[in-house]
Structure 1
Amino acid sequence: MGWRTVVVTQHAKVSLSTGSLVIQTDTDRLHVPVRDVGVLLIQTLQAVITAHAVVALAEVQAKIIFTGRDGQPICTTSGDYSNVQSTVTVGKQMTWSKSRIATLWTRVTASKLQNQIQVVEFVGGETTSLRQELDQLEVGDVTNREAVVARRYFPRLFGQDFSRTDLTPVNAALNYGYAILLSAVDQAICTRGYLTCWGIHHTRTDNAFNLGSDLMEPFRPVVDQWVSQQKIRDFTPDIKYGLVDLLNVQLTYNHQNTILRNAIPKYVDQCLNYLGEVTDQVRIEVALPSEVSSHAINGHV
């Protein structure tokens, strides 16, 4: 998988020629080697892409994300039909141990809460009550400490009157960032031959991405941290570009320096191996960035 994020924001045609994406706009013609592309974001309804380009991107495991009329990600395409997917893999997924599911969800939730505490510390907020909730976390989070922390967490970042249900630019940015994150986690799940609809905690029948919604949780605070440091009066293209580029943010995962897009597959492997009883250990330790970068992404059209 490549490292470049290419965003198309205007009337354009995306095609393939001699191993490169060709992006033809009204005023320019750009070439990007397919092997360099990690994400192609189509941020306009006035673009077309050829089947040849779609296939080439799928072959290098690049993800294509389309946004809807509201500017939010609405559809993704990737090499979802992995050659490792089989009735054996899916059959094992259907019979994951309940005790391992409960243990993994506890570890996932604990990591998320620890990372939320890191974000609150980053903005200079009070964390004592959040740590107390983390200390009360039980196996399977049967007392729903995750929800209790969420009610205290977001007001510490965005003000006491903030609500995740409000239709605000900040919430739009959070949702957009979460959608980008979910797409990356789903891709890692699919390429390992598992079903994204079969979750360990999220079980909605109308959600095709229950497992991705479960496993993305520890990395949500990466989005929260970035959004908390922006002055968002409107949900502008610059905000969207920054959220897409969070896949390239540097962090520490299990004491190794890496970027988010590389940490996610390692993390998904650990979780799936634990659920499949390939290993008896799972460690989810994330150290968030010590500063929020304002660098522009590297492929805006």
Structure 2
Amino acid sequence: MIKKTLYFGNPTYLSMRNNQLVVKLPEVEKNDTLPEKFKKNSEVTFPIEDLGVIVLDHKQITLTHGLIEMLLENNTALITCNSNRMPVGLMLPLCGNKTQTEKFSAQIQATDPLKKNLWQQTIKAKIKNQADVLRKFRSCNIRNMEYWAGDVKSGDPDNYEARAAAYYWKEAFPQIDNFVRGREESPPNNLLNYGYAILRAVVARSLVSSGLLPTLGIHHHNRYNAYCLADDIMEPYRPFVDAIVLTIIDSGEIFEELSQTIKTQLLQIPIIDVMINGRKSPLMVAVSQTTSSLVQCFEGKLRKIKYPEFVM
């Protein structure tokens, strides 16, 4: 089942009743002149079991502890935003799988050759998907990208990921002079950052659900990063976010600020269609197949991670 993504960008009361997320508006609740029946009818509810990601984007949003507990029990990712309305926090359950200890053990005991092989597969898939983005949106030559994708070796010692990235970002936004990809760089990096934050939450949620530790990466290692494995596994999925951003830019929409219209488009990331294992699937469902296959690679049951491709 496709899980829902909910976004709250205004003052809101969020609570739980009968395993339902209950949404109330403060201006309605505090208005004593309104009849109770009207207040009751103004409530909106969502089954908690249907929720995958919730984005909290306002300082005056209130959540009950009971709701938070139930959301985490159902493996719902909670994203919080800062004063600039950019995602800064992510809350996930500590336990998301019944055989978690066994899977932790397999992940921790993974050998360096295995991790290098998994990283090779990851970079191959990422560069291939980047090439498909350029093929779909730009008229530039991508034979070099295709060559690099095919020539990636175990652990990517030739750093084809960086070579591909340098070429990819130069060609992705030809209408923007001297575009540089970076978290603190100028727009449309704001759109990319927002989209990647949504994607990261989806991947981290799925890793926990599959019984893995998001902290222990196969390539990324940072003592201050609690989501190294999520940052690894999301790499081949990033081009799907890029495709949405390129669609927004090419439409002529003003992108210097993250408008509500743009956020609405980026919040569709979990449900966009991708191809995985030869079948069309929503991205969030595809991510669960990817993380499940990663577990089996750690356990020695599979040799290849299932990664997505573009629906061409």
The verdict on a shared fold, with TM-score over 0.5 as the criterion, is: yes
Q: Does 1:44 align with 2:61?
A: no
Counterpart pick for 2:220 among 168, 185, 202: 202
| Distance in 2 between residues matched to 1:283 and 1:2, nearest whole Å | 19
Alpha-carbon shift at residue 57 of structure 1 (Å): 1.8
Alpha-carbon shift at residue 86 of structure 1 (Å): 5.0
| Distance in 2 between residues matched to 1:75 and 1:272, nearest whole Å | 26
Asked whether the equivalents of residues 126 and 237 of structure 2 are also in contact (C-alpha less than 8 Å), the reply is yes
Larger radius of gyration: 2
Consecutive unaligned residues of structure 2, counting only runs of 5 or more, are 29-41
Q: Which moved more, 1:78-87 or 1:34-43?
A: 78-87
State the SS of the aligned residue for 1:10: coil
Partner residue in 2 for 1:14: 14
| Distance in 1 between residues matched to 2:305 and 2:206, nearest whole Å | 17
Asked whether the equivalents of residues 97 and 275 of structure 1 are also in contact (C-alpha less than 8 Å), the reply is no
Cα-Cα RMSD: 1.9
Alpha-carbon shift at residue 87 of structure 1 (Å): 4.6
TM-score by length of 2: 0.86
Asked whether the equivalents of residues 273 and 279 of structure 1 are also in contact (C-alpha less than 8 Å), the reply is yes
Counterpart pick for 1:217 among 235, 238, 242: 235
| Distance in 1 between residues matched to 2:100 and 2:257, nearest whole Å | 45
> What letter corresponds to residue 163 of structure 1 in structure 2?
V
Partner residue in 1 for 2:138: 124
| Distance in 2 between residues matched to 1:38 and 1:252, nearest whole Å | 20
Q: Does 1:256 align with 2:279?
A: yes
Q: Does 1:163 align with 2:185?
A: no
Counterpart pick for 1:94 among 96, 108, 113: 108
Alpha-carbon shift at residue 237 of structure 1 (Å): 2.3
Counterpart pick for 1:246 among 240, 246, 269: 269
Asked whether the equivalents of residues 2 and 62 of structure 1 are also in contact (C-alpha less than 8 Å), the reply is no
| Distance in 2 between residues matched to 1:80 and 1:121, nearest whole Å | 41
Q: What does 1:1-301 align with in structure 2 at a 5 Å threshold?
A: 3-25=3-25, 26-27=27-28, 28-84=42-98, 86-126=100-140, 127-159=142-174, 161-165=178-182, 167-230=185-248, 231=253, 232-284=255-307, 286-290=308-312
Identity %: 24
| Distance in 1 between residues matched to 2:218 and 2:143, nearest whole Å | 29
Query: Relative contact order: is structure 1 or structure 2 higher (C-alpha 8 Å, sep ≥ 6)?
Result: 1
Alpha-carbon shift at residue 2 of structure 1 (Å): 5.5
Alpha-carbon shift at residue 128 of structure 1 (Å): 2.1
State the SS of the aligned residue for 1:169: coil
Corresponding residue pairs, total = 289
Q: Which moved more, 1:133-142 or 1:216-225?
A: 133-142
Alpha-carbon shift at residue 41 of structure 1 (Å): 1.2
Consecutive unaligned residues of structure 1, counting only runs of 5 or more, are 291-301
> What letter corresponds to residue 161 of structure 1 in structure 2?
N
TM-score by length of 1: 0.89
Per-residue deviation, residues 87-140 of structure 1 (Å, max 9, x unmatched): 543332222022211111111100000000000001133212222322332221
> What letter corresponds to residue 200 of structure 2 in structure 1?
L
